[in-house]
Amino acid sequence: MSSPAVISVKGVRDVLPAASRDRSLSLGVVYFAGSAALYGLTFSMIALAPWWWLRVALAIVNGLATGVLFIVGHDACHGSLTPSSSLNAWLGRAAFLPSLHPFAAWEYSHNALHHGWTNLKGKDPVYCPMTVGEYERLSPSRQWLERVSRSWIGMLPLYLFEIWWPLEMNPNDEHRRHIDKRGTFAFDRGIVLAFPLVQTTALFVIARTTGDQHNLLGTILLGVLVPFLTFNWLIGFATFQHHTHPRVVWYDDASEWNFFRAQVQGTVHIVFPRWIETLLHNIMEHTAHHVDTRVPLYHLTSAQAAVEAAFGEENVISESFTFAGMTRTFETCQLYDFVRHQWLSFDGMPTTEPRELSSELIPAGRSASRAVHREGDASCPTARLGASRAIPARGGARDPETGQRPARRGS
């Protein structure tokens, strides 16, 4: 049976308000300046606070401020923060410094891979679930780490060791070749590595100026290490929820994958109180961001509302954050069966119902264009991104335990 036709990328994006892609120089600069000021203020107060308990609290708040500034850099890296590409590049580099992210590395791993191949195993590097077979082949210590990574405390090591270190700071040779095409990785990583020295010097100068040089090492650890670790937990917490949910489908076969399934149905909107959404620059209104990365953070609210109105709750996952809901996701979304498209526990027991994708119709949406494309259509930007390295659909029945297809005879 032939695969069903799906909405084109243009058809999906046509549901967005025309003004949602408008970029503002003044708004972009204000968001950067305000976020940088919040970071600078909380950083300085770590050294100026009179009590250690307050310094610890401020270090955690500074980690949050690091994340807020990172979100601005994320927008700049997508080119959506301001109308100026050169200004976006420099604001993005500056915004990424406290979180220690080289701009060129993030531009490739996030923009090209994650957004180009969202939820497609082998392409999207962000938190792809293991199969039962892959998990069982791990050493006991590595299995323990995998279990921890799907827990509240595990959000820190999950991001630190799956994203930050192997993709941003220490990419392998193949990954590095793609990053080096951007021409600035050595410079970007150099300024990132130098930034902790700048932070240490600033804390030393503040301590000398105020005459408070007692336990200077502790102050430096609170000003440099604690905010960085706090940021890693926070970004792990946010990004894990963006594409991990009992209703989210992951793919290992490109013939099943398409833009609508990945960016609309596979991207989650977790709803927080409005003041938290504002503080986080609307980054949790994530479906709209994946539909079109050209939408600036200051237009995401209206864009998200348009996507949800067009495609409905049956296609757009949107739910209010609760601790119970997050815990349910940790308990439900541990391993994945790529054949039956259902989540499993670490014991291999199904935790969701199987999905039959061939029987699921993809709606046009009330405001969407009726134009359609099939996988590989050159009119699809995502297809163009991978045209030279497309993943072929693989023949043969897959083993339901391992999720792997048998090797061809003679290979």
Q: What angle do CA 205, 206, 208 make, to 5 degrees?
A: 65
Q: By the 8 A CB rule, do 263 and 251 touch?
A: no
pLDDT computed for residue 41 by the predictor? 97
SS (H, E, C) 55-116: HHHHHHHHHHHHHHHHHHHHHHHCCCCCCCHHHHHHHHHHHHCCCCCCHHHHHHHHHHHHCC
Confidence band, pLDDT 50/70/90 cuts, at residue 362: low
Q: What angle do CA 372, 375, 376 make, to 5 degrees?
A: 110
Quick: pLDDT tens for 52-62. Answer: 899 999 999 99
Return the H-helix or E-strand segment holding 269.
Answer: strand 269-271
pLDDT computed for residue 397 by the predictor? 37
pLDDT computed for residue 209 by the predictor? 82
Query: Among 301, 395, 330, which Cα is nearest to 151's?
Result: 330
Amino acid identity of residue 399, one-letter, is: D
Q: By the 8 A CB rule, do 332 and 240 touch?
A: no
pLDDT computed for residue 240 by the predictor? 97
Q: By the 8 A CB rule, do 264 and 12 touch?
A: yes
Q: What is the pTM of this model?
A: 0.86
DSSP-assigned beta bridge partners for residue 120: 251
Q: How are the residues of the chain apportioned to helix, strand and coil, as percentages rounded to the nearest 5?
A: 55, 5, 40
Measured CA to CA, the distance from residue 230 to residue 236 in angstroms comes to 10
Confidence band, pLDDT 50/70/90 cuts, at residue 123: very high
The Cα-based distances of 79 to 51, 87, 253 in angstroms read 42, 9, 30
pLDDT computed for residue 112 by the predictor? 95
Handedness of CA 317, 321, 323, 324 (dihedral sign): negative
Q: What percent of the chain has pLDDT over 90?
A: 76
List Cβ neighbours of 144 (8 Å cut-off, separation of 6 or more). none
Quick: pLDDT tens for 190-248. Answer: 999 999 999 999 998 888 787 665 677 888 899 999 999 999 999 999 999 999 999 99
pLDDT computed for residue 399 by the predictor? 43
pLDDT computed for residue 378 by the predictor? 31
Q: By the 8 A CB rule, do 372 and 7 touch?
A: yes
pLDDT computed for residue 403 by the predictor? 41
Is 385 or 40 the better-scoring residue by pLDDT?
A: 40
Is 235 or 396 the better-scoring residue by pLDDT?
A: 235
Average pLDDT of the residues in 180-199: 93
Phi, psi of 45 (to 5 degrees): -65, -20
Return the H-helix or E-strand segment holding 314.
Answer: none
Quick: pLDDT tens for 133-173. Answer: 999 999 999 999 999 999 999 999 999 999 999 999 999 99
pLDDT exceeds 70 at position 116: yes
Is 48 or 79 the better-scoring residue by pLDDT?
A: 79
Confidence band, pLDDT 50/70/90 cuts, at residue 361: low
Q: What angle do CA 294, 297, 303 make, to 5 degrees?
A: 70
Amino acid identity of residue 249, one-letter, is: V
For residues 307-337, one letter each, b for 16 or more C-beta atoms within 10 angstroms of the residue's C-beta and e for the rest, the string is: bbebbeeebbbeeeeeeeebeebbebbbbbb
pLDDT computed for residue 6 by the predictor? 62
Q: By the 8 A CB rule, do 305 and 90 touch?
A: no
Mean pLDDT of the chain: 87
pLDDT exceeds 50 at position 35: yes
pLDDT computed for residue 368 by the predictor? 35
For every residue of 215-240, DSSP letters joined together read: THHHHHHHHHHHHHHHHHHHHHHHHH
Write down the residue that tokens 């799906």 correspond to. Answer: 6
pLDDT exceeds 60 at position 115: yes
Confidence band, pLDDT 50/70/90 cuts, at residue 181: confident
pLDDT exceeds 70 at position 394: no
